[in-house]
Amino acid sequence: MRDFDPLAWDWLLPLEGTNVQSDSRSRLQSAFELLHGIRWEPEHAKQVARLAVSVFDQLRSVHGLGMEGRDILATAALLHDVGWAIDRKQHHKHSMRLILKDRLDGFDLRQQLMVANVARYHRRALPSDEHRPYCMLGQEDRETVCMLAGILRIADGLDRAHTQDVGSLRVEWEQDACRLVLTPMNGSLNEINVQGALQKADLFEATFRRPVRIVCQPGGPGSGVRGE
């Protein structure tokens, strides 16, 4: 991809101080390099990463994870579909294997294993003690993987049609639900993306113990409240 430019992705970096941004940039650079060498859909990867990081940042007081968790999620979101270059049906597993194949700069082996697991669980089966790469992690890291993969599944569902029509996303953490208030990019939301997010909310709901509701701002066929 000749026009690939990591500098155009600075929105992925945290707003905190220079040292934190430098660490995150080093970690994300490895993801950029892997993406650059594999056939992928850059706009879909960008959209999923943007939405996932937005949810993460807005729920920081709920999940309590720091910059390590944010960087793991952002990297997994960028790389979640790289396995398509090998096989479509099992691409989530191939994404995991490709992430583990070479060292990702800025991550130690434990963190890289977490990135691979989060990417693997963006679709299909939920984390299980029968899955060896998942079992290689300690209990606390497994819980983190579940939180991050739960967020990633929803973010991926919100671009299931690969149309990038979700403009902004606001998270409202309530007593009885987690509401996602979506504003369309160009006036309307593809219903496939709304339903995709609801269908993939299973891990998030089990981990955070809140049902997910989607509220679409007026302006298109996706308007209204979904998930009730």
Q: pLDDT tens for residues 31-45? A: 888 877 776 678 898
Q: How far apart are CA 67 and CA 55, in angstroms?
A: 14
Per the structure, the count of domains in the chain is 1
* Banded model confidence at residue 19, pLDDT cuts 50, 70, 90: low
> Which residue type sits at 67?
M
Asked whether residue 228 is assigned to any structural domain, the reply reads no
Q: pLDDT tens for residues 71-93? A: 999 999 999 999 877 877 788 99
Q: Read off the pLDDT of each residue in 127-134 and give the average, rounded to a whole number.
A: 93
Asked whether residue 195 is assigned to any structural domain, the reply reads no
| Domain membership of residue 11 as a residue range | 6-162
Q: Read off the pLDDT of each residue in 129-158 and give the average, rounded to a whole number.
A: 96
Neighbours of 78 (CB within 10 A): 26
At residue 223, does pLDDT exceed 60? no
The tokens describing 162, both together, are 């690969």
Q: How far apart are CA 112 and CA 103, in angstroms?
A: 8
Asked whether residue 67 is assigned to any structural domain, the reply reads yes
* Banded model confidence at residue 2, pLDDT cuts 50, 70, 90: very low
Asked whether residue 153 is assigned to any structural domain, the reply reads yes
Q: How far apart are CA 189 and CA 219, in angstroms?
A: 8
Q: What CATH number is associated with residue 129? A: 1.10.3210.10
Prediction pTM value:
0.89
Burial class (CB in 10 A: 0-12, 13-18, 19+), 30: buried
Asked whether residue 190 is assigned to any structural domain, the reply reads no
* Residue-level pLDDT at 219: 58
Asked whether residue 202 is assigned to any structural domain, the reply reads no
User: Where in the chain does DSSP place strands (E)?
Assistant: 166-173, 178-184, 212-216, 224-226
Asked whether residue 123 is assigned to any structural domain, the reply reads yes
* Residue-level pLDDT at 30: 81
Asked whether residue 22 is assigned to any structural domain, the reply reads yes
Q: Are 163 and 196 in contact (CB under 8 A)?
A: no
Strands 212-216 and 178-184 turn out to be parallel
Q: pLDDT tens for residues 150-171? A: 999 999 999 999 999 999 999 9
* Residue-level pLDDT at 89: 78
Which is higher by pLDDT, 151 or 124?
Answer: 151
Q: How far apart are CA 206 and CA 84, in angstroms?
A: 28
* Banded model confidence at residue 18, pLDDT cuts 50, 70, 90: very low
